[in-house]
Copies of this chain bind each other. A is one copy, B any other.
């Protein structure tokens, strides 16, 4: 994932945060906390997973397929920008 050299640190920080959220769920299950609490924690993790996914896919498009800000081909640049926008909506 060579293109990640730049954003690598940021992505790894995100994955670690997710791990921390899972540990909180584990503790909540251990402590037999109310369902509502656990289900809300799980919903947060799902949201965070979607955010991570969207960022990974955007990085992939920008670094390996077409970077809208740098592509010499203006049509492909526009199409890649549209693709990134659509991905964000669908992975929200």
Contacts and interface: CB of A to CB of B under 8 A. Distances in A.
Interface string A1-28: 1111100100110011011001101101
Contacts of A28: 1
Given A4-B32, A16-B26, A90 B53 contact: yes
Q: What's the dominant secondary structure at chain A's contact region?
A: helix
Contacts of A25: 15
B53 A42 contact: yes
Interface string A32-44: 1111111110110
B83 A60 contact: yes
Contacts of A34: 1
Contact of A42 (B32, B35, B42, B49): B49
